[in-house]
Amino acid sequence: MRPRTVAGSTVAILLALSAHAAEALTPRALMQSLARTRASRADFVERKYLATLTVPLESSGELVYLAPSRLERRTTKPKAEVLIVDGDTLTVERDGSRRSISLASYPEVAAFTDSIRATLAGDLDALSRRYRVTVDGDASHWRLTLSPSDAKIATLVSRVTIDGHDALIDSIEVLQADGSRSVTAITPKKDAG
């Protein structure tokens, strides 16, 4: 290679690297991207890893999100169950019965549930009230890490890690304070809204 070609290639590589570094995603930019999604549907497979079990517990079904605050989890396997969080109300449907509770009665559960809804809604201010929020990566592949700054939440959850690309969530990992963890793989549906 000629010196001029090597120098030109080196400059091109340095420019490409500096342009890539400039595209690093900030929490605010990620939240703005996620906020554009007003409705979505996805299939999920969740694996729960508990210290007392040698194999993970697996469940699967469908997730439905309607901005700004409705989240449905419709489990089909291993047993049918529907969880609906709408505003301040959590409704559980299983075995032919339906029960609703106010999330205000369970602030720690509400805080965890809101971490997922606030992420889907792109509400950085809501997330920042209870979590330290960090983002790694760029728009093509990012990781959002939520570390509880609220002591009551920290008694339940050590960390929530959400991986995605563009304005889509690919997986959610929840590390509980007792060492158990769950990993939920999410596959958007073609008619996802």
Residue of higher predicted confidence among 115 and 7? 115
Q: Cβ(126)–Cβ(118) under 8 Å?
A: yes
Cα 181 to the chain's mean position, in Å? Answer: 14
| CA gap 125, 115 in Å, rounded | 11
**What distance in Å separates the CA atoms of residue 72 and residue 155, rounded to the nearest whole number?**
25
Largest CA distance in the chain: 77
Query: Does the model's pTM come out above 0.95?
Result: no
> How far is 154 from 59, CA to CA, in rounded Å?
25
Taken in order 94, 72, 111, 171, is the CA torsion positive or negative?
Answer: positive
Q: Is 95 left (phi over 0), alpha (psi -120 to 50) or beta?
A: left
Burial profile 1-10: b = 16 or more Cβ within 10 angstroms, e = fewer = eeeeeeeeee
User: Could you tell me if 177 and 157 are in contact, meaning their C-beta atoms sit under 8 angstroms apart?
Assistant: yes
Mean pLDDT of all residues in 82-92: 94
pLDDT-derived band of residue 35, with 50, 70 and 90 as boundaries?
Answer: very high
- Cα dihedral sign for 116, 86, 188, 139? negative
Q: What residue ranges define each of the domains in the chain, with the CATH number in brackets?
A: 25-188 (2.50.20.10)
Give the pLDDT confidence of 89-138 residue by residue, as tens digits. Answer: 999 999 999 999 998 888 777 877 888 999 999 999 999 998 999 999 99
Residue 31 CA to residue 143 CA, distance in Å, equals 12
| Lowest mean pLDDT, pick from 15-29, 84-98, 144-158 | 15-29
- Rounded Cα gap, residues 90 and 112, in angstroms: 13
Amino acid making up residue 24: A
| Mean confidence (pLDDT) of the chain | 87
Instruction: Rank 9-13, 58-62, 186-190 by mean pLDDT and report only the highest.
Output: 58-62
